[in-house]
Structure 1
Amino acid sequence: MRFLAREHPGASGRWTRGNRKGSSMSHASTVAVLGAGALGAAMAMRLGESGHEVRLWNRTEERARAVAERAAGVTAVSAVADAVSGASVVLTVLRDGDAVAEVMSEAIGRLDNDAVWVQASTVGPRNASALAGLAREHGVAYLDAPVSGSTAPARQGKLVWLVAGPEDVLARARPLLDDLGSSVLHVGTGVEGNAVKLAVNAWMAASTVAMSDVLALCDTLGVDHATFVRVLEAGPLAMPYELQKVRVMDDAAYAPGFAVQLALKDIELAAAAAAPSALLQVVRDRLEATVAAGHDTDDLAAVDYLRKPPS
């Protein structure tokens, strides 16, 4: 483990932005990862293994230190300003728009002139627009770039990037995105990334709730779950993500992946951004009930707990 202690500002008492030259990042670069939750930690470890120098910051410092202790190439940093100073890419992987705005308002003045801010948190289009405005105000290159995928794909470099922003900025950050993802989809030039992400996560949550309910139907009809899965796999209705969830649900093994509380946050963002939907209301009710049952940090598959709680 490496740990970088906090530095102090210069004689003027003010932080200043760096002036490192160059218009593109090399494959091996200095990366600041802000947020050491499940996804941020997995990204940091993958980047360290890929040869990048990773500075990992988290509001709860111990969490960043715990990741750095078991990750090659990752340094735990106590001050967010120190994490971003000199970094080619600043990757924000935080819970919501308010958290990103608070952290980056403190840190953005320390970014180098040629740094790229890759905003990977799912914050919704409205918050993404505000964050893009903050970047413009400070002359910082910005990508609205949430991902489809959770911790396991991040560790394997198989995330799907949903990137919005200028093509030249995307080209500068592309080597890092490629190290973390199997696909980089350029979906627009503004903040379309977060719009697409809300739609994707709404589909993911709705389909998971639907799978749980269909398993309940199987139980009522006396249909073996393995038979049900076999039939789906034989035709065009198979959905690999949900077929995987069948095993997880049957085992009641909800190891952390995409947490129920994060799915609920994203459904609420979707509801706030669009006309009310009866389907999304049902999904939200199920997620809220799952959180109330104590499964807030468990994988989304825990919505099935309510189908057949353990005796």
Structure 2
Amino acid sequence: MTTVAVLGTGLMGAAMARRMAGQGLDVRAWNRSADKVRALAPWDVTAADSVEEAVRDADAVLTTLPTGDVVASLAARFLPAMAAEAVWLQMSTVGGTWAERLLRQATEAGRRMIDSPVSGSSEPAAHGTLTLIVSGDKEALDHARPVLDVLGSHTVHVGTGAQASRVKLIVNSWMTASVVAMADTLLACEQLRVDPSLVLQVLDDGPLRMPYAMQKAEEIRARAYPAGFPLELALKDLGLLADERDRQPRLPGVLRDTLRRAVESGHGREDIAAVAESMKRDTA
């Protein structure tokens, strides 16, 4: 049986842990807040008291943590405790610069790391339908295949270094732009007294169809924003992308300002679709 250590059990980490345990993998988990790990007990996820205990003899180690510096500080502890043949799947969205640092950290410790941020929210993580963006050498990928196949329905291999983290930031920027565009579309319907269902029908029935945007449209219309991808994380990712770009076009700045206002108005922990609430207030 493949043994997996999950370090970080927020929305994504917890969903991944439940999915892997449900598919027969031996899953151990650690989180700074122990209550979040204990909540996974009904899914047969074993709580570890320390990161060292979690990774000991594991075949794969998954990190799903908020920032690069948090990942690096924990890696200093768990890399020496990992089995020599184990693979570290770095699934946190930390950006290319941090991913390169973490790769060097793993290499210096004599361990293998795959840069593997995921495209998708907690719901596809729970159902094993994530798109996995990976960069790493083939041998490490082959070793991690039992984990990757459980978590994702599609794996895109984009290189051998930190390319996956950069692809992820670009994808997240596009996703954020699509949500803001949908929020503005529904706001325009309200302002022009147009039935939004008619506009959505035109979008859904033709070449402009986009399932993700249609899902967000339903959340916005219902004013229900369960956190699949929290606003504050979307804003963080836009900042990471901005840090790596030499020249800034106007659109990313507009997106960041729009999300920042939504976070400042109290929607940071809600789904990114909650940006519609602050956009509506801004035009009231």
> TM-score interval w.r.t. the shorter chain?
over 0.9
Q: Deviations for 1:32-90, whole angstroms, at most 9, x for unmatched residues? A: 0000100000000000001011010001112111222x313x10111110000100000
Equivalent residue for 1:152?
Answer: 123
Query: Gaps spanning 5+ residues in structure 2: where?
Result: none
After the TM superposition, which residues 203-282 of structure 1 pair with which residues of structure 2 at under 5 Å, given as runs? Answer: 203-274=174-245, 275-282=247-254
Greater mean alpha carbon deviation, residues 139-148 or residues 58-67 = 58-67
2:244 paired with 1:285: no
After the TM superposition, which residues 1-311 of structure 1 pair with which residues of structure 2 at under 5 Å, given as runs? Answer: 28-68=1-41, 70-72=42-44, 74-274=45-245, 275-308=247-280
CA contact (8 A) 1:271 1:277 kept: no
**One-letter amino acid matched to 2:188:** L
Question: In 2, Cα distance between the equivalents of 1:75 and 1:251?
Answer: 37
Question: In 1, Cα distance between the equivalents of 2:249 and 2:182?
Answer: 19
**One-letter amino acid matched to 2:85:** D
Give 1:234 deviation, angstroms: 1.6
**One-letter amino acid matched to 2:152:** G
**One-letter amino acid matched to 1:58:** N
TM-score between both structures, scaled by the size of structure 1: 0.88
Question: In 2, Cα distance between the equivalents of 1:197 and 1:103?
Answer: 22
Give 1:134 deviation, angstroms: 0.5
**One-letter amino acid matched to 1:60:** S
Q: Which runs of 4+ in 1 moved over 4 A?
A: none
Give 1:218 deviation, angstroms: 1.4
Query: Which has a greater percent of helix?
Result: 2
CA contact (8 A) 1:158 1:182 kept: yes
Give 1:96 deviation, angstroms: 1.1
Give 1:148 deviation, angstroms: 0.2
Question: In 2, Cα distance between the equivalents of 1:287 and 1:49?
Answer: 35
Q: Deviations for 1:71-113, whole angstroms, at most 9, x for unmatched residues? A: 13x1011111000010000000000101100111111100001
Query: Gaps spanning 5+ residues in structure 1: where?
Result: 1-27
CA contact (8 A) 2:2 2:146 kept: no
**One-letter amino acid matched to 2:79:** I
Give 1:280 deviation, angstroms: 0.7
Question: In 2, Cα distance between the equivalents of 1:240 and 1:62?
Answer: 35
Question: In 2, Cα distance between the equivalents of 1:301 and 1:234?
Answer: 22
Question: In 1, Cα distance between the equivalents of 2:79 and 2:112?
Answer: 11
Give 1:269 deviation, angstroms: 0.2
**One-letter amino acid matched to 1:36:** T
What is the SS of the residue equivalent to 2:183? Answer: helix
Greater mean alpha carbon deviation, residues 209-218 or residues 33-42 = 209-218
Question: In 1, Cα distance between the equivalents of 2:125 and 2:118?
Answer: 9
Give 1:175 deviation, angstroms: 1.4
TM-score between both structures, scaled by the size of structure 2: 0.97
CA contact (8 A) 1:212 1:304 kept: yes
Q: Deviations for 1:111-156, whole angstroms, at most 9, x for unmatched residues? A: 0010000000000000000000011001111100000001100110
Identity %: 46
Question: In 2, Cα distance between the equivalents of 1:85 and 1:57?
Answer: 12
